[in-house]
Amino acid sequence: ENILEFISELEKRYNVTIGKDSLKEAITVYNETRRLFQRLYELRKKDRPPISGAEMIEVYNACNMVPREKFNMLLRQLVEEAESSERFIEGDIRLLLNGTILNNPEFVEGIEKLGGLFVADSLSNGSLSYMDMVDEGGSMEPLRAITSRYLRQFPAPRMSPSDLRYKRIFDLIKDFRIEGVITEIVRYCAPLIYDEPRLRRRLEEQDIPTLKLDLEYNMTATGQVKTRAQVFLEMIRDKKGLSA
């Protein structure tokens, strides 16, 4: 009902008709984006992936600024080059970046220069947007397929109950062989502020190191952030050394 109301307002404001055929076309285009991202995610499972976490943030940013059909062409080219490339990114600690929206690759780059390597994320403008498909070939009407995905996709911190969100994060930790989780909290993001301690408790129970970093929107990795990240990475290195 909310989506129907939203469509009605869009049609009135922009003098357009949003029908079944246009929704089907949009589903196809956006699912193609998701398929391409999923191919890129598979490459990040490698011991030495061909793309860094900072570069992924740049790709996410482009996805929201370039017309989607053109973006799909560029993303397909990137994926094919990455699949055939011998390029690899150095980093001795495999990290998952948890948070809401992060648009500044400099923040991620500052941590990766210390030896961390972000190979997965649970960002609202990242994996949460691209890991789950809209049903294309089933019997559902396009609008119901879209709304069904909104309700069943990788949950954001604002969604309740949180158990599905935590399960998806732990699936990422297993699939991408994550050695540490860094949660970035843009100041005053209440849902993530309340979600972080609950997730941290679950991570600690599984002996997975975790670090919380507060930042202003679009803030780079400041000296304080780098210091805390450096200590965090050294702790994981010591842990790996002890376990070896």
Q: What is the pLDDT of residues 26-62, one digit of tens each?
A: 999 999 999 999 999 999 999 999 999 999 999 999 9
- Tokens 């500052």 sit on residue: 110
Contact partners, residue 215, CB within 8 Å, separation at least 6:
107, 184, 185, 186, 187, 225
- pTM of this prediction? 0.91
Strand residue runs (E) in 34-179: 93-99, 116-122
Q: Tell whether the model's pLDDT for residue 242 goes beyond 70.
A: no
pLDDT recorded at residue 219: 65
Q: Tell whether the model's pLDDT for residue 222 goes beyond 60.
A: yes
- Tokens 């972080």 sit on residue: 196
Backbone dihedral angles phi then psi of residue 142, each to the nearest 5 degrees = -55, -45
Q: In the structure encoding, which two tokens stand for residue 114, read together?
A: 């210390």
> What crossing angle do the helices spanning 163-175 and 190-205 adopt, rounded to 10°?
60
Give the strands of the sheet with 180-186, arranged side by side: 116-122, 93-99, 180-186, 210-215
